[in-house]
Structure 1
């Protein structure tokens, strides 16, 4: 295989900036970031309430291993699952317009 002498290192930030010029990519990235933020908020509230993943599992009927996967971003939870998790924390999911 011929060696390409023109290869250069591209940082993730530079790569991301380039990809963000694509409107479809930018929208998908924004959705992913919002989802990650929501899951982090749920996890943070759980820990502030001194609840374990097993506590949430017991309150929601969702397996503890699935709570773990949800919190780590390894699954795409349904709205039903997120709602049950929020309710187990004494909260709810609310739409907030940015306009």
Structure 2
């Protein structure tokens, strides 16, 4: 089974977090009445990649997500729950 592979399992477990971050970015972008093209121009990230991020496709790294957040005038705050 693929999930027995630690790397696959880790990537699989990251999916909900990435989708939640992407949904939050999209919500804020729309609230600010910005287009995906606006974000692409501000970040240097291709518009099609902005779309992929917002739709939960692919696996953007932290730097990419941080650039997107910065284009919205924001940043991410992480909290460790134990």
CA RMSD of aligned residues (A): 2.0
Q: After superposition, what is the alpha-carbon deviation per residue over 1:1-53, rounded to whole angstroms, capped at 9, x for unaligned? A: xxxxxxxxxxxxxxxxxxxxxxx8x9765532121111100000000000000
Q: Partners of 2:51 and 2:19 in 1: how far apart?
A: 14
So what's the TM-score if we normalise by structure 1? 0.67
Q: Partners of 1:59 and 1:28 in 2: how far apart?
A: 28
* Structure 1 unmatched ranges of 5 or more: 1-23
Q: Partners of 1:76 and 1:31 in 2: how far apart?
A: 9
Report the number of matched residues: 77
Bigger RCO of structures 1 and 2 (CA < 8 A, at least 6 apart): 2
So what's the TM-score if we normalise by structure 2? 0.80
Identify the residue that residue 21 of structure 2 maps to in structure 1. Answer: 38
* Structure 2 unmatched ranges of 5 or more: 1-5
Identify the residue that residue 3 of structure 2 maps to in structure 1. Answer: none
Task: Extract structure 1 runs of 4+ deviating beyond 6 A.
Answer: none
Identify the residue that residue 15 of structure 1 maps to in structure 2. Answer: none
Q: Larger radius of gyration, structure 1 or 2?
A: 1
Q: Partners of 2:37 and 2:53 in 1: how far apart?
A: 13
